[in-house]
Amino acid sequence: MNPTAFAITVIYSVACVVALIAILLIWRSTHGRGERPGDGVDTEKLAHGEKAWFAIVVAALGALLLATLPFIPYGDTAAAEGQQQVSVEGFQFGWTIEPSTITAATATRFTVTATKVTHGFAVYNDDNVMLFQIQAIPGHTSHIVHTFDEPGRYQVVCLEFCGVGHHRMLSTFTVEPV
Ligand SMILES: [Cu+2]
């Protein structure tokens, strides 16, 4: 058994035991004491506590919502002033990238589409590290905004198998210093 499978087995077993104990505790709390519901229980106090917990949960969820709202990525790729525009079209088997020279340190908005079949527009730097990837889809325009900090030559690779010439779908563009 490999270490990951072993870890999953252990974690799953522990989770099952914990769940079983929880079910037993809940069952014991509601059965077998011979007491009628309400015996010795201050229901008014419980009702008050319930309202307080409700308020706490609503406040916590509200705080969580407000705290995480700024991280929602929607809108990041919307057009903004000062962006450079690059239009990309994938075809069998190559890329049209217009313009093929852009400026560093300026937000660049890629407008990506394709003819006939879907391609994967992936951009790699000099160290062969992928900076981003976006689908190039026929009849649809995808957008992504990226700022290139380093001037240089960037490589484009198709990451979606698109036919017999898929491996030939390599291209480059140049990022010039400001
Ligand atoms: Cu392709």
Distance 120 CA to ligand 1 centre (A): 6
Query: What pLDDT is recorded for position 81?
Result: 80
Specify whether the CB–CB gap between 60 and 106 falls below 8 A: no
pLDDT tens-digit series, residues 99-111: 999 999 999 999 9
pLDDT interval class at 35 (50, 70, 90): low
Query: What pLDDT is recorded for position 45?
Result: 86
CATH class, domain 84-176, is mainly beta
H or E stretch covering 110? strand 107-114
Specify whether the CB–CB gap between 94 and 167 falls below 8 A: no
Strand order in the sheet with 84-91: 94-98, 84-91, 107-114, 142-147
Query: Would you say residue 8 has pLDDT above 90?
Result: no
This prediction has a pTM of 0.60
Distance 119 CA to ligand 1 centre (A): 4
Please tell me the distance from the alpha carbon of residue 129 to that of residue 134, in angstroms, as a whole number. 15
Distance 177 CA to ligand 1 centre (A): 30
Instruction: Count Cβ atoms below 10 Å from residue 79 Cβ, excluding itself.
Output: 10
Distance 11 CA to ligand 1 centre (A): 41
Distance 86 CA to ligand 1 centre (A): 18
Alpha-carbon distances, residue 97 vs 32, 147, 158 (angstroms): 75, 17, 13
Distance 100 CA to ligand 1 centre (A): 19
**Domain spans in the chain, listed from the N-terminal domain onward:** 1-31, 84-176
pLDDT tens-digit series, residues 62-92: 999 999 988 877 767 777 788 899 999 999 9
Q: Which residue has the tokens 């898929």?
A: 166
pLDDT interval class at 152 (50, 70, 90): very high
Average pLDDT of every residue of the chain: 90
Please tell me the distance from the alpha carbon of residue 92 to that of residue 76, in angstroms, as a whole number. 30
Alpha-carbon distances, residue 178 vs 13, 96, 102, 127, 156 (angstroms): 58, 24, 9, 22, 22
Q: What is the CA radius of gyration of the chain?
A: 28
Distance 30 CA to ligand 1 centre (A): 62
Question: Where is pLDDT greater, at 39 or 96?
Answer: 96
Question: Where is pLDDT greater, at 52 or 35?
Answer: 52
Specify whether the CB–CB gap between 111 and 143 falls below 8 A: yes
Query: What pLDDT is recorded for position 111?
Result: 95
Q: What are 138's two structure tokens?
A: 């026929």
Distance 172 CA to ligand 1 centre (A): 15
Query: What pLDDT is recorded for position 30?
Result: 83
Distance 72 CA to ligand 1 centre (A): 30
